[in-house]
Amino acid sequence: MATERGVFTYEDYAALPDDGRRYEVLDVILSDVTIVQPDLVYVDPARAGIITRRAIEGAPTLAVEIISPSSPRIDRVTKRELYQQYRVPYYWIVDPDARSIEAYELAENAYRLVATASGAEPVSLPLFDDLAIVPESLWPAST
């Protein structure tokens, strides 16, 4: 199963039991030993060849992570570094506590923050210039 160093291959992940535990494994295979599960993923039609019956095999066009109480460091540091290393062109972080979306674009092998969206005004984020997102509509209404 795992190598002596504790690195799993995709086949190792696929063989994990369905035992009720949460394993963050699915279907964006960046390399044989680097598999991630973004909360949302988008693959541009020009790159549709990376979508196979098994998984998305390669860098998607956009990876979106929604921060949860158990994942801020993973989403903001670990996954960001992986997406950057494997050249995912766009990376968004949705932060429910801050009620914001941070949009990053890969430039010169590093992500740069290109937009932060919050509030009730519609905004267009990089990659989807014709899509107006109202950030405030993503969060449950306060009671």
Tens of pLDDT along the chain (143 residues) come to: 444 445 556 676 667 777 776 554 448 777 776 777 888 899 999 999 998 888 888 899 999 999 988 888 888 998 899 999 999 999 999 999 999 999 999 999 999 999 999 999 999 998 888 889 999 998 887 65
Per-residue model confidence (pLDDT) at position 117: 94
Q: Which residues pair with 40 in a beta bridge?
A: 64
Residue 55 lies in a domain: yes
Residue 1 lies in a domain: no
Residue 67 lies in a domain: yes
Q: DSSP assignment, residue 70?
A: T
Residue 79 lies in a domain: yes
Strands 28-31, 56-57: pairing is parallel
Collect all residues with Cβ–Cβ distance below 8 Å to 113 and sequence separation of at least 6: 102, 103, 104
Residue 5 lies in a domain: no
Per-residue model confidence (pLDDT) at position 39: 86
Residue 32 lies in a domain: yes
Closest CA to 106 of 49, 65, 64, 62: 62
Residue 92 lies in a domain: yes
| CA–CA separation, 54 and 77 (whole Å) | 27
Residue 35 lies in a domain: yes
Residue 128: give its domain's CATH number. 3.90.1570.10
Phi/psi region, residue 45 (left: phi>0; alpha: psi -120 to 50; beta: rest), is: alpha
Per the structure, the count of domains in the chain is 1
Per-residue model confidence (pLDDT) at position 7: 56
3-state secondary structure of 52: coil
Range of the domain at 67: 10-138
Per-residue model confidence (pLDDT) at position 105: 97
Q: DSSP assignment, residue 58?
A: S
